[in-house]
Amino acid sequence: MTTVAGYSDAQLQELGLDPAKLPQHIAVIMDGNGRWARSRGLPRIEGHRRGVKSVRKIVEECARLGVGYLTLYCFSSENWKRPQHELNLLMSLLKQYVIEERSEIMRQNLSFRTIGRKEGLGEEVLAEVQKTIDYSRDNTGMCLCLALNYGSRGELVDAVQTIAQKVQEGTLNPNEIDEATIADHLYTRGMPDPDLIVRTSGEMRVSNFLLWQLSYAELWVTDKHWPEFRQEELHQALRDYASRDRRFGGLKG
């Protein structure tokens, strides 16, 4: 297997990045595809197609940087409100992505997973997603996680229902339920919480994304639309992240 060469510490320092202060988990709200297209007189779907190019660039760059986990908010549970023709095109793009990127995922030694509800995504899309998950199961590099038909409130509802079922069956004592119990029943179980949340297109909200998991995440927002987002913006986000004083509610002496 040919893997993507990572940056040396010296190369990271040349980019203004501190190897000791890189986040382990980056999560991205990829916003602005439609606005990018509209500002250029193009149909919205062209913005989504261009957004796929940004995904490719950022996935490879995060792998080179040595990031452990990258979660991309690709399709929210609220996105079903969009026109049917756009939904059809988005599902087609998703299917195309997981097929075409399969060889790149293997080349970069990435493990691939998704979070979210499967309902509505379609059998063909789910089959290709599962195939990519299976192909990459033994890979040891960065975990690439796509949030598909994802909503954080729905995730919490699903977790509570599963926990309640276990209590009802007598396999879980209510007095033993703690934060770790809840985390173990979320879609993201087994993954560390995000250290850094990146949002494009200038919106100052989290849009029902990883509400439990981002409790102590740093938020970084850029006015750039997602189709314009490239390595330079990612590096700036990482430099800003490294400059922040992360106390997690405590004090530094």
Q: Could you give the residue numbers annotated as active site?
A: 31, 79
Q: Is 123 annotated as a binding residue?
A: no
**Residue 46 assigned to a binding site:** no
Helices (H), ranges, 24-149: 33-38, 44-65, 84-100, 102-107, 123-135
Q: Across-strand partners of 221?
A: 199
Helix axes 84-100, 44-65, angle to 10 degrees: 30
38 is in an annotated binding site: no
Is 239 annotated as belonging to a binding site?
Answer: no
Q: Is 78 annotated for ligand binding? A: yes
Task: State yes or no: 134 annotated in a binding site.
Answer: no
C-beta of residue 16 within 8 angstroms of C-beta of residue 239: yes
Q: Is 212 annotated as a binding residue?
A: no
Distance in Å from the first CA to the final CA of the chain? 47
Q: How far apart are CA 102 and CA 201, in angstroms?
A: 28
Q: Which residues contribute to the annotated binding site?
A: 31-36, 44, 48, 76-78, 80, 82, 199, 205-207, 218
Q: Which residues contribute to the annotated binding site for substrate?
A: 32-36, 44, 48, 76-78, 80, 82, 199, 205-207
Q: Which residues contribute to the annotated binding site for Mg(2+)?
A: 31, 218
